[in-house]
Amino acid sequence: MSGSIRLTKGIVILICVIMFSVLLCPGSLLASEGTVYVAGNPDLYPVEYYDSETEQYAGLMPALYRMLSEKTEYTFQYLHPGDTNEQERMTKNGQVDIVSAYLEGEIDAQYLKMPQHISRITVDGEERDVCIAFSEIASEELIEKVSSALS
C-alpha cells in the first residue's frame, strides 16, 4: 500500500512541476506552436504605446509585428498589455520571447539575445537608443525565422 502511495505522490509532484513550468514560461513553450509573446513598452510614443481606449498597443512596433505575422507562421501577442511597463519583470521571469521598444540600458543584458538598435529618440531632453531584443528563452528557430523575415 505504501508503494502505491509513494507512486501517487511522485506523479502528483511531477504534474505540479510540469504545470509550474508551463505557467512560468509560456513564451518558451508556445513560440514553437506559433505564438510569440512580446513584452511591450506602454509609454514610448510613437514607437510603441498602450492605447487605453482600444486596450491594445499601438504605434510602429505593433505594425511591424503584423507584417512579421504575414511573413512567418508566428502570431505575435503582447503579454499583459496595460499602462504599466513590466518588460524587465517579464523578461527576467522568462515569460516573453521578445522585448519590444525598450530604451537601451533599461533591461539587464544578461536576459537578452541579439539586442538591436531600431531608432533614436529624445526622452526628457536626452537622446536615447530604442532597442528590440529576443529574450534568453527565445528558440533559435524563432530568432532565425524572424531575422530572415526582417532582412
Cα separation, 16 vs 8, in Å, equals 12
**pLDDT for the residue 151:** 83
pLDDT tens for the 151 residues of the chain, in order: 554 444 454 444 434 344 344 444 444 444 546 999 999 999 999 999 999 999 999 999 999 999 999 999 899 999 999 999 999 999 999 999 999 999 999 999 999 999 999 999 998 999 999 999 999 999 999 999 999 998 8
Say if CB 43 and CB 50 are below 8 A apart.
Answer: yes
Q: Which three cell numbers stand for residue 111?
A: 536576459
Say if CB 121 and CB 48 are below 8 A apart.
Answer: no
Say if CB 99 and CB 132 are below 8 A apart.
Answer: yes
CA 11 to chain CA mean position, Å? 31
**pTM exceeds cut of 0.85:** no
